[in-house]
Chain A
């Protein structure tokens, strides 16, 4: 199937999967039909074991495919790697589903709890049940816990969940 993925997206996906090095590896894979890990290491000047780690990570997400052949002289296996751009769309959708699930969990939690907070930077807010047990004193700084309005967080979460649902066509 022919799919659309632009170069910027490709770069961002590489960033998500790995690091700066992953971007370089993807750039090389994009421009070649099939390439060995050794050739990638030479072209990018990234250490061979790092290149392999990145390739296996990409392989875990089906973003690259591999073919194995045997070196006639040494008898060792040679791995030939190929980018699978048609899998990128699926990868992006899976990641969006994963984030959506987490945001939905968080939204339900925010909606079903009342929070108390001492308004000290670095301290955590606590749900009502826990605040009761703590006699409304912050366990970290011992300042009194006041009711915390989480309507802004709920509003942002609602928007984001809605956006992701739309993008996923749910």
Chain B
């Protein structure tokens, strides 16, 4: 908690000096999600060790100091959803969803064509994989789905790196970044949801590329 408080304090100080600019990847990016289970810190999508697969990484609830990581939990009322647009129209053609069961498991739905799109969602189709959330301090538990996907859910090191404090200083008038810089996210953790997906599950995509965005949605 100490690191989190320090970072939050830094952000507020920065807000005072910069007219409200708070800068990170997406950590505490907006008032309505700050310090909530819906707060996305980052999304990564990259080719897997097997080039036939893509890896989708959703990091949430960032700035966890080691001492507060064991207590951090996924939320059964928060749907974590990767949105995949295969034709560039900004509407998701596939979704991959993670929904915590409230006790120990992350249930995964998809990749599947959603029956509703946009700001409102529901769990789509049936569970394709289920993985026990890895407790803090334990070796990573992984599971493989019926469709060949691999899944993980649990605390990991925050992979984001950035000299946040120097950026605040720049916004306040300092003419340049420090060299070397100092990673403000060093030593902090996130709650990660990672899915590795065979590209073939997206079918034939004429453009040869997809647009991806990550959303968190709250039960209504």
A and B: bona fide binding partners = no
Binding site for A on B (CB under 8 A): none
Footprint of B on A, CB under 8 Å?
none
